[in-house]
Amino acid sequence: MLSKLIGYEFKATRRIFLPAFGVLLLLSLVNAIFIALPDTLLDRVEMPFGVLMTVYLLALFAVCVLALAYVINRFYKNLLGDEGYLMFTLPVRPSQLIWSKCIAATIWMIVAAVICFVSLLLLALPSLVVQNAIIASDLWKILQLAAGMLLNNNGAYLIVFFELIVVGIVCVANFCMHVYACLSLGSLANRHRLGFAFLAYLLFGIAQEIALLLASWLFSLIGWNIPISLSLDAVTALQLALLLWLAYTAVCLAVNFLITNYILSRHLNLQ
């Protein structure tokens, strides 16, 4: 049933995200063509190029805002608003509703970040290839060097790379679940729900900062630190640091889920 809920989330939101992604990529491609033009020709189309670049920057900002707004609005409207009366009549557990929202939001935020990066790459790459082929060849050498580095030290750097990806995914999921926990706490109030949700977000942030300070203080007491040199020991220490950060983020994710699930299961207060 969880897969069906996730599929429903994508069907309900793809008509918003996919056109936005397409427009962003199209604008980046058009602006890249303008950038690749010779200077003499570019001077003649300076005005439309400036307008298109402004529109592209606004579209880039809009995609980022859209991903954030989706995380907040979709959960609040579907589960804590009037639509909640219908959603909670479905033969599913509240935990499945929560995870379907979280998984879909996490995927959309990651896809939005990738699309923004690709759009920036498209914006710069044609200019590099047309105006300076040496730079393009240097970029290829850098990519080859990076690939070789990942395979060095028996694949230790490759493990670090995949750990970074996993940590990034879990951090995005934790952010989404953290927003859900704050919105759920805010729903306990009869008035000014979003205001109380924002207050909960601030208090959670302060608590997390205090926890990180205490953890760093404990590590300093036992003399644990990460070597700065790029030796194998440093790579091992970096792997350990990433695993610790992954564990910390996973604990935060679990706590945020438990808070959200408890409120929606035991103290549901629909608007």
Domain membership flag for residue 140: no
Same domain, 221 and 262: yes
Is 211 in contact with 131 (CB distance < 8 Å)? no
Report the C-alpha gap between 271 and 268 in whole angstroms.
Answer: 10
State the chain's maximal CA–CA distance in angstroms.
68
Same domain, 119 and 161: no
Same domain, 114 and 157: no
Domain membership flag for residue 122: yes
Domain membership flag for residue 107: yes
Same domain, 195 and 106: no
Domain membership flag for residue 38: yes
Report the C-alpha gap between 176 and 104 in whole angstroms.
Answer: 10
Spell 31-55 as b/e; 16+ CB within 10 A means b. Answer: bbebbebeeeeeeeeeeebeebbee
Same domain, 55 and 171: no
Same domain, 126 and 157: no
Domain membership flag for residue 17: yes
Helix (H) or strand (E) holding 172: helix 133-187
User: Structural domain tally of the chain?
Assistant: 2
Is 67 in contact with 112 (CB distance < 8 Å)? yes
Same domain, 160 and 244: yes
> Domain boundary at 68, 101, 131, which?
131
Give me the tens of pLDDT residue by residue for the chain, a chain 271 residues long: 788 888 888 888 888 888 989 999 998 888 887 777 766 666 666 677 778 888 888 988 988 888 888 888 888 888 888 777 888 888 888 899 999 999 999 999 999 999 999 888 888 776 665 445 445 455 555 555 555 555 565 556 777 778 889 999 999 999 999 999 999 888 888 778 888 888 888 888 888 788 778 877 776 666 555 444 444 456 677 777 888 889 889 999 999 999 999 998 887 766 6
Same domain, 170 and 271: yes
Three-state secondary structure string covering 173-237: HHHHHHHHHHHHHHHCCCCCHHHHHHHHHHHHHHHHHHHHHHHHHHHHHCCCCCCCCCCHHHHHH
Report the C-alpha gap between 102 and 222 in whole angstroms.
Answer: 37
Report the C-alpha gap between 27 and 32 in whole angstroms.
Answer: 8
Domain membership flag for residue 13: yes
Model pLDDT, residue 232: 47
The residue segments making up the domain with residue 181 are 153-271
Same domain, 35 and 161: no
Same domain, 184 and 268: yes
Residue 155 C-alpha from the chain's centroid: 27
For CA atoms 90, 92, 93, 97, the dihedral sign is: negative
Count CB-CB contacts under 10 A for residue 261. 20
Helix then strand then coil, % of the chain, to nearest 5: 85, 0, 15
Same domain, 90 and 162: no
Is 174 in contact with 252 (CB distance < 8 Å)? yes
Domain membership flag for residue 139: no
Same domain, 103 and 179: no
Nearest residue to 265 via CA among 179, 174, 187: 187
Domain membership flag for residue 142: no
